[in-house]
């Protein structure tokens, strides 16, 4: 589709017409020429003959060839100044979405059966699998990665659009597979490194879930917090711990109590949020809130191909101006 960027400039097309019809003609700059009676008589005879031959053509309303030629040049220059453009069909760019790294605690303490669903107790790991899997399914336009940790931390799935693969890895994971202790610092370090190495300029987010304290690994929580703050990657932290019960006390690890203070500090330093999950519903609500806090963009910016066409009337105008050099002066006045 062709359009003009400055269509208001077409009002300039009336300038020569107004000038020609309504402004008085300018006399010679050097005064009146020397009048020769014989030449004046010849001029009068010619004007009289022209009037007899075509009286209409001798009125001021007659356009000379010169006027039409020069007006055509003016019209082409105005058209070029109005910036004609060809606009292609609008095209939606792919939205810039998020790279989300899920960091999930699978230490032995995640076997505690202090969560309930339909009046039936389930362990923490089963609740996490159900809720996190549903969260992964919702992030249709995002890349998702997975880090699992216990005594050691492992990058189980690098950032990928293959949500099914990430879900399958998580669902086939059992608490205690990575050891009894908890290396939160190392797991966070692996997640940060994986996000940092990605060249995509997507928004980067870490969602860290744990039910314990950092009691193993090479990175302390203080070091991990400083590293996360330095990288400028937002971290949401989730502390898991159900209400105390006889069954849960059988799995109690007094030296691995939830370190809410460090989790809150980590979230605050990275401009994230800390959440506490005490049952299945609260855990589901937390991931729902995070899903709202990190919305997906359904479509990106709209771009449109624009091709400038002003050079076409401009070149034609310049060509007509150049032809004036080769046209005899008297021809345009005929």
Stated as kind and residue range, the H or E segment containing 76 is helix 65-81
Domain regions of the chain by residue span? 2-89+304-333, 98-293
Reading the block at residue 152, the tokens are 């050691």
pLDDT digits (tens, 9 = 90+) for 234-260: 999 999 875 544 344 444 444 457 889
Q: What residues pair up with 275 in beta bridges, in sequence order?
A: 238
- What's the CA gap between 328 and 315, in Å, rounded? 22
- What's the CA gap between 234 and 237, in Å, rounded? 10
Q: Tally Cβ neighbours within 10 Å of residue 292.
A: 8
Q: Is the pLDDT of residue 302 over 70?
A: no
Look at phi and psi of residue 184 and say left if phi exceeds 0, alpha if psi is from -120 to 50, else beta.
alpha
- Work out the average pLDDT over 32-54: 51
| pLDDT at residue 333, rounded to an integer | 60
| pLDDT at residue 245, rounded to an integer | 41
Looking at domain 98-293, its CATH class is alpha beta
- What's the CA gap between 230 and 192, in Å, rounded? 10
Q: Which of the 8 DSSP states describes residue 254?
A: G
DSSP for 7-71 reads: GGGGGGGHHHHHHHHHSPPPPPTT-PPPP-HHHHHHHHHHHHHHHHH-TGGGSTTPPPHHHHHHH
Q: Is the pLDDT of residue 180 over 80?
A: yes
Q: Is the pLDDT of residue 320 over 60?
A: yes
Question: CB within 8 A of 168, min separation 6: which ones?
Answer: none
pLDDT-based confidence at residue 57 (cuts at 50, 70, 90):
very low
**If you search the block for the tokens 């009046």, which residue do you land on?**
119
| pLDDT at residue 217, rounded to an integer | 84
Q: Is 291 exposed, middle or buried (0-12, 13-18, 19+ CB in 10 A)?
A: middle
Q: Is the pLDDT of residue 123 over 70?
A: yes
CB 124 within 8 A of CB 112: yes
**If you search the block for the tokens 């300029």, which residue do you land on?**
201
Q: Is the pLDDT of residue 288 over 50?
A: yes
| pLDDT at residue 205, rounded to an integer | 93
Question: CB within 8 A of 166, min separation 6: which ones?
Answer: 102, 136, 144, 145, 146, 157, 160
Strand, helix or coil for residue 186: helix
Least reliable range by pLDDT among 72-86, 141-155, 199-213, 246-260: 246-260
- Work out the average pLDDT over 205-213: 92
| pLDDT at residue 142, rounded to an integer | 86
Least reliable range by pLDDT among 122-126, 128-132, 322-326: 322-326
pLDDT digits (tens, 9 = 90+) for 126-172: 999 999 999 998 888 889 999 999 999 999 999 998 999 999 999 99
Answer yes or no: pTM beyond 0.85: no
| pLDDT at residue 69, rounded to an integer | 84
Q: Which of the 8 DSSP states describes residue 180?
A: S
Using a pLDDT cut of 70, give the percent of the chain over it. Answer: 75
- What's the CA gap between 57 and 52, in Å, rounded? 10
- Work out the average pLDDT over 24-38: 53
- What's the CA gap between 258 and 241, in Å, rounded? 8
- Work out the average pLDDT over 169-184: 89
Closest by alpha carbon to 4, among 313, 331, 322?
Answer: 313
- What's the CA gap between 120 and 117, in Å, rounded? 5
């Amino acid at each position: 589709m062709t359009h003009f960027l400055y269509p208001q400039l077409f009002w300039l097309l009336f300038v020569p017409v107004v000038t020609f019809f309504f402004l008085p003609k300018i006399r010679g700059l050097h005064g009146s020429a020397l009048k020769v009676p014989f030449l004046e008589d010849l001029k009068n005879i010619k004007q009289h003959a022209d009037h007899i031959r075509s009286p209409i053509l001798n009125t001021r309303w007659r356009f000379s060839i010169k006027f039409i030629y020069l007006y055509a040049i003016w019209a082409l220059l105005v058209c070029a100044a109005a910036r004609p453009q060809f606009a292609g069909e609008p095209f939606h760019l792919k939205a810039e979405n998020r790279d989300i790294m899920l960091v999930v605690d699978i230490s032995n303490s995640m076997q505690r059966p202090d969560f309930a669903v339909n009046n039936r107790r389930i362990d923490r790991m089963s609740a996490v699998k159900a809720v996190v899997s549903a969260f992964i399914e919702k992030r249709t336009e995002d890349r998702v990665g997975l880090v699992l940790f216990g005594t050691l931390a492992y990058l189980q799935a690098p950032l990928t659009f293959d949500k099914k693969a990430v879900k399958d890895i998580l669902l086939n994971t059992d608490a205690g597979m990575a050891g009894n202790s908890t290396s939160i610092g190392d797991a966070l370090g692996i997640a940060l490194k994986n996000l940092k190495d990605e060249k995509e300029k997507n928004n980067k987010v870490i969602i860290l879930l744990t039910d314990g304290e950092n009691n193993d690994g090479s990175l302390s929580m203080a070091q991990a917090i400083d590293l996360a703050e330095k990288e400028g990657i937002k971290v949401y932290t989730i502390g898991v711990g159900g209400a105390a019960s006889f069954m849960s006390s059988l799995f109690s690890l007094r030296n691995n109590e939830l370190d809410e203070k460090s989790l809150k500090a980590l979230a605050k330093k990275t401009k994230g949020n800390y959440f506490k999950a005490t049952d299945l519903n609260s855990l589901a609500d937390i991931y729902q809130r995070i899903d709202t806090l990190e919305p997906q963009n359904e479509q990106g910016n709209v771009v449109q191909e624009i091709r400038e066409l002003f050079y076409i009337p401009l070149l034609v105008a310049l060509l007509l101006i150049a032809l004036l050099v080769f046209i005899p002066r008297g021809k345009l006045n005929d």
